[in-house]
Structure 1
Amino acid sequence: MNGNVEVVVVGGGYGGVMAANRLARREGVSVTLVNPRPEFVERIRLHQLVAGSDDAVEGFDTVLGGNVRLVVDAATRIDAGERRVALAGGGTVSYDYLVYAVGSGAADPGVPGAAEFAHVVSDLERAERLRSALGAAPATAPVTVVGAGPTGIETAAELAEAGRKVTLVCGDVLGPYLHPRSRGPVARRLAELGVTVIEGRGARVTEVTREAVQLEDGRVLPSVVTIWTAGFRVPELAVRSGLRTDTAGRLLTDATLTSVDDERIVAAGDAAAMTDRPFRMSCQAAVQLGAGAAATILRRIAGKTPAPVRLMFAGQCLSLGRNGGLTQFSNLDDKVNALHISGRLVAHIKEYACRFPLNQLASGARKASSRKSTDRPETPQPGHRTTPPNTRRAA
């Protein structure tokens, strides 16, 4: 491709920022990142925000290359034929290639009362509202966390360590993604923190009220603050844009992360689904997919055939409060095995695991910023709001 290449990245999470920085390092490539917030959200720390041990945000000036244009707005539709993205603010932004990295959020619980009375931890604004709700509740008020995935377990442990009276409703089993041998250390640590764990037959929520949670077996749990962490969904942008998706609404791609509908659209992160090899929604996957999406686009720009993207996993770290944790090891294909370690040391390992992707992004930002190029994006059309990087840092 001759001349300057315009790439638009939709979504400023781990995958989108990784892709933007990789692309911005290439001469002749101008990158615009569209994101609804003027700051980067560390989603893997939102449970800490709820408990008050971190604010879970970082300035884009730290993680995003200075030669990447940040447009603070929400994408409402992708016009693949015209290669243009419509924005909620009324403007549009054009592209030669697009990285689809819109991430994920909380799923509709589908349980009476849950949407009205339960809080979620999946995004910054609602996590902040949850923190306010906890702050307004008495310290002895019962708190119920629904869902025994990583978010549920980490949130329950964080709040219990902060002195809250917490019940964790698991459904069938605590940590269904864990190897059976790993569940014991997690259960023991939760018990040490005072978390009441409810699992097994009848341990499914059938209704949420303002002050209680009702289970399938008839039990009613007092709950002044209920937190719903079961299930995730992706934004409907791909569906609204007429692009093919899986049943969960994730953009369908081939092994190079290219949309099955349009080779100019490449996906990264939770909102993407390879047709032949699904992967777990996670920060671990997102940073690898962001790099893979950038590699696919750069190879196409160079007139080369993109290579299949291969994800490699070593395990998953689980925080159990600030002073405990578990590392669950896995095979390279992300299938967990019996090997695990737990205890206070793992809390430090988990903290390193949280800092590592942020350090990766910051390193990528420095490399992108060091590129000396006169190729700059055109002035945004009316309706855009290009915002200087936010410098607020995590506490």
Structure 2
Amino acid sequence: MTDSTDVVVIGGGYAGVMAANRLTQRADVTVTLVNPRPDFVHRVRLHQLVGGSDDAVGAYQDVLADGVRLVVDTVTRIDAAGRHVTLAAAGTLDYDYLVYAVGSGSAEPSVPGAAEFAYPIATLEEAQRLRPVLDATPATAPVTVVGAGPTGIEIAAELAEAGRTVTLVCGGVLGPYLHTRGRRAVAKRLAKLGVTVVDGSDAKVTAVTRDAVRLAHGRELPSQVTVWTAGFGVPDLAARSGLSTDAVGRLLTDETLTSVDDARIVAAGDAAAPSDLPQRMSCQTAMPQGARAADTVLSRLAGEQPDTIHQAIYAQCVSLGRQAGVYQLANRSDVAVGFHIGDRLAAGLKEIACKSIPRHLAHEAHKPGSYSLHRMPGGVTRRRLMLRAKGAEAPAAADRTA
């Protein structure tokens, strides 16, 4: 009888679920998924949870393969030498391979008063905390959203469409990723919804109080509810476990998503930093990386050299309430181009994209190995140039001790 290979996946988000499902291709692989919540969080809908149009959660039984064991707990430490993880409530779990897919959350704000008086929405619990606060706040009360990336834009539009008086403080440029034309389309829609956009050099937040947001040069905005979307952070589990991380705490890996410290540990999603050149934090990155991480483990089990990441991201969807959006096209290197789709068509495309995520995961659960978007060509040349310029391409995983 062939001995079973035990794989533990830490994190039940887009990357972790994809990796866990894909690993069930082999009958001799036992997969355990550890996640602190019993429900699957559809993170791209958290702004809808706050706005009241979606609950942003689903059942794991709808997206997770039957052969994956779900453990509802939190990993507090990884013992790479001993090949086991310590759980907060249930002892330890041994592993032969570990998939590190802990995702991301809100970055700890350095602005005085932000941690005390502002509401982040990067996690389910944060969004659920904000929802009753808004419900208890008069509709005419001023709401300030800080941060003008996709999350800030989407929550500002969602709340304005619901009749809220919203100011969006950009901290710089509105929608930095977007092309100038896409940015103009977003600004036009926000203006139609009644959102006041504060951008440019005066849009730096210097302090947050219970009822105001202070900006550079002494300007003060009244704010009964302040929503903080400026920046993401990752859990410090890897650093606390003695593994190599980048400056913000992502696990350092090579181009096969294998830890630079241990060939038995692979990473995927927001908390992975391949060759210290992490890709954009996004579901568009998380699912392909989850598939690539699983393929790396399966390749090792088959005695083959794992392939490297070479995925392309061609677009970014930004919803602007329920009735409009911007679908920003990009080239294969994830650089925005001049063409975008707007208004109702973009909103429809965004909804299709949101619905496709659990469908991809469910399809992989029922037919492991079927997902193939991580094999799409594109972005390879630019990434090689970036690696060459960095002068520190990570060694192949096969060169390290397994």
Equivalence for 1:388: none
Matched, 1:353 2:353: yes
User: Compared with structure 1, are the counterparts of its residues 234 and 71 closer, same or farther at alpha carbon in structure 2 (3 Å cutoff)?
Assistant: same
- Which structure 2 residues correspond to residues 229-240 of structure 1 after superposition, within 5 A? 229-240=229-240
Question: Residues of 1 paired with 2:133 and 2:339: CA distance?
Answer: 39
Greater Cα shift, 302-311 or 99-108: 302-311
TM-score by length of 2: 0.90
Instruction: Specify every segment of 5 or more residues in structure 2 that has no aligned partner in the other structure, as ranges.
Output: 370-402
Instruction: Specify every segment of 5 or more residues in structure 1 that has no aligned partner in the other structure, as ranges.
Output: 370-395
Greater Cα shift, 88-97 or 41-50: 88-97
Q: Which amino acid aligns with 2:106?
A: A
Equivalence for 2:322: 322
After TM superposition, give the deviation of residue 131 of structure 1 in Å: 0.5
* Cα distance per residue 1:139-178 (max 9 Å; x no partner): 1110000000000000000000011000000011111111
Q: Which amino acid aligns with 1:136?
A: A
* Cα distance per residue 1:195-225 (max 9 Å; x no partner): 0000012111111011111101211111010
After TM superposition, give the deviation of residue 25 of structure 1 in Å: 2.4
Equivalence for 1:106: 106
Equivalence for 1:384: none
- Which structure 2 residues correspond to residues 273-288 of structure 1 after superposition, within 5 A? 273-275=273-275, 277-288=277-288
Q: Identify which of structures 1 and 2 has the higher relative contact order when contacts are C-alpha pairs closer than 8 Å and 6+ apart.
A: 1
Provide the secondary structure at the position in 2 that maps to 1:145. strand
Provide the secondary structure at the position in 1 that maps to 2:37. coil
* Cα distance per residue 1:289-345 (max 9 Å; x no partner): 000000000000011111112111111111000000001111112111111111111
Greater Cα shift, 129-138 or 327-336: 327-336
CA contact (8 A) 1:168 1:195 kept: yes
- Which structure 2 residues correspond to residues 280-319 of structure 1 after superposition, within 5 A? 280-319=280-319
Matched, 1:169 2:169: yes
Question: Residues of 2 paired with 1:187 and 1:121: CA distance?
Answer: 22
* Cα distance per residue 1:98-146 (max 9 Å; x no partner): 0000000000110110000000110011100100100010111100000
Equivalence for 1:257: 257
Question: Residues of 2 paired with 1:205 and 1:276: CA distance?
Answer: 29
Provide the secondary structure at the position in 2 that maps to 1:112. coil
Greater Cα shift, 339-348 or 232-241: 339-348
Equivalence for 2:81: 81
Equivalence for 1:222: 222
CA contact (8 A) 1:203 1:217 kept: no
User: Compared with structure 1, are the counterparts of its residues 30 and 176 closer, same or farther at alpha carbon in structure 2 (3 Å cutoff)?
Assistant: same
Question: Residues of 2 paired with 1:238 and 1:278: CA distance?
Answer: 15
Q: Which amino acid aligns with 2:53?
A: S
Q: Which amino acid aligns with 2:133?
A: A
Q: Which amino acid aligns with 1:128?
A: Q
Q: What is the RMSD computed on CA atoms of the aligned residues?
A: 1.3
Equivalence for 2:200: 200
After TM superposition, give the deviation of residue 278 of structure 1 in Å: 2.5
Equivalence for 1:209: 209
- Which structure 2 residues correspond to residues 1-395 of structure 1 after superposition, within 5 A? 3-275=3-275, 277-367=277-367
Greater Cα shift, 302-311 or 36-45: 302-311
Provide the secondary structure at the position in 2 that maps to 1:226. strand
Question: Residues of 2 paired with 1:31 and 1:200: CA distance?
Answer: 49
Question: Residues of 2 paired with 1:49 and 1:226: CA distance?
Answer: 17
CA contact (8 A) 2:252 2:276 kept: no
* Cα distance per residue 1:46-90 (max 9 Å; x no partner): 000000000000100000011100000000000001100001114
CA contact (8 A) 2:246 2:276 kept: no
Question: Residues of 1 paired with 2:312 and 2:16: CA distance?
Answer: 19
CA contact (8 A) 1:25 1:368 kept: yes
Question: Residues of 2 paired with 1:76 and 1:125: CA distance?
Answer: 19
CA contact (8 A) 2:73 2:90 kept: no
Provide the secondary structure at the position in 2 that maps to 1:109. coil
Q: Percent identity?
A: 64
Provide the secondary structure at the position in 2 that maps to 1:270. helix
Q: Which amino acid aligns with 2:160?
A: A
Question: Residues of 1 paired with 2:14 and 2:225: CA distance?
Answer: 30
Question: Residues of 1 paired with 2:276 and 2:79: CA distance?
Answer: 26
Question: Residues of 2 paired with 1:329 and 1:164: CA distance?
Answer: 30
CA contact (8 A) 2:324 2:346 kept: yes
Question: Residues of 2 paired with 1:93 and 1:184: CA distance?
Answer: 51
User: Compared with structure 1, are the counterparts of its residues 219 and 258 closer, same or farther at alpha carbon in structure 2 (3 Å cutoff)?
Assistant: same
